[in-house]
Amino acid sequence: MLPLSPPSDGIHSNKLFLVREFYAFLVMTLLTLNQFRKGIPVLPYPTRKLIRDTFLVSGIIVGIMYGLILAVGFPLPFTTLTMVPPWTVLVLVCMGAQWAQLIRETAGAAMMFIGMMKLWVCDNLLVFVYPPYFYVFTTLSTTGQIAFVLLLPVIKVLMRKLFSRAVQHLSDETPGIIVFNADVFGSLFVAYCMQRSPSTWTTTGVMMLDIITMTLALRDVHNVRKELQELEQQLDKAHAWRSYMQRKNTDLALELSHQRPPRTALSIREGKYSGLSEFIPPTME
């Protein structure tokens, strides 16, 4: 934690605030660019250029923030929500400079990029949904908070659905992405709401909602497990029936081979097969 002066002293007495914001955007940019690099393995993004673009974007965005603070005042209202749009544009410019031509030339790269853009939009959507929700929550009365907290599980379910649709192309990585984005954000702001609410009823309501959503999730897991067991039984039955038919066909083939003598050249010349003896010439003495 960096020590800051009172906001009334202005930005010139809180230059460490800019250092903190630079570090925050440094981490955000690095994680975003690396996420795209890992999600689109067919497109190269050298580490040297990734680090260069990370520092470049972070420096420019902090400069824009400093200009807005001088124009509007310190602290800048809704700093994160205000700075995310220009930061997004700068990151897209960096990726465009690196991949614009390669995306057109590489098969499948465009679809991968669209999928990663969907994931990135969902990540940014979390920033634009939960902080305003928390702000509205803190301004409500106790009765209003009890009613407003009912939106938390709805938001969480919607975010899970959005993330699951956005990362379908990543297959096995989908559960981890959903857990470390939608679930972590949801749990974090549930904790925030419980800390900021002085009402025992609000805290109890949040806990009951957690229990209900957990129960529903476990029920879904149980249903999926049951469906998988039924599918496994059907596959076992199909495999057993196929094995039975193979053994039956093999036994039938063996039985027929023992009942019918093989058609050899000697048996043909001896005229053992009907209709053939009259066409066989006599053996030369």
Residues 84 and 144 in one domain: no
Residues 3 and 50 in one domain: yes
pLDDT at 278 over 50: no
| Cα three-residue angle 22-50-167, rounded to 5 degrees | 95
In angstroms, rounded to a whole number, what is the distance separating the alpha carbons of residues 278 and 10? 120
Share of the chain above pLDDT 90, in %: 17
Q: Binning pLDDT at 50, 70 and 90, where does residue 261 land? A: low
Residues 99 and 190 in one domain: no
Q: Is 270 domain-assigned?
A: no
pLDDT at 88 over 60: yes
The DSSP output letter for 270 is T
Span of 24-38, 104-118, 125-139, 206-220 with lowest mean pLDDT: 206-220
Instruction: Tell which wins on pLDDT, 60 or 167.
Output: 60
Whether omega before 75 lies within 30 degrees of 0, making that bond cis, reads yes
In angstroms, rounded to a whole number, what is the distance separating the alpha carbons of residues 283 and 269? 9
In angstroms, rounded to a whole number, what is the distance separating the alpha carbons of residues 82 and 72? 12
In angstroms, rounded to a whole number, what is the distance separating the alpha carbons of residues 231 and 257? 39
Instruction: Tell which wins on pLDDT, 172 or 41.
Output: 41
N residues, the chain? 285
In angstroms, rounded to a whole number, what is the distance separating the alpha carbons of residues 249 and 243? 10
Residues 74 and 174 in one domain: no
Residues 121 and 200 in one domain: yes
pLDDT in tens, 119-161: 888 888 888 888 888 888 888 887 888 788 878 888 888 888 8
Mean pLDDT for the stretch of residues 46-72: 93
In angstroms, rounded to a whole number, what is the distance separating the alpha carbons of residues 126 and 156? 10
Range of the domain at 2: 1-106
Q: What is the pLDDT of residue 276?
A: 45
Residues 97 and 15 in one domain: yes
Mean pLDDT for the stretch of residues 95-114: 86
Final residue before a domain boundary, out of 106, 137, 172? 106
pLDDT in tens, 18-47: 999 999 999 999 999 998 888 888 888 999
Q: Is 261 domain-assigned?
A: no
Share of the chain above pLDDT 70, in %: 87
Q: Fill in the amino acid letter for 120.
A: W
Residues 166 and 241 in one domain: yes
Q: Is 263 domain-assigned?
A: no
Residue 178, classified by CB atoms within 10 Å of its CB into exposed (0-12), middle (13-18) or buried (19+), is buried
pLDDT at 168 over 80: no
pLDDT at 264 over 90: no
> pTM of the full predicted structure?
0.64
Q: How many domains does the chain have?
A: 2
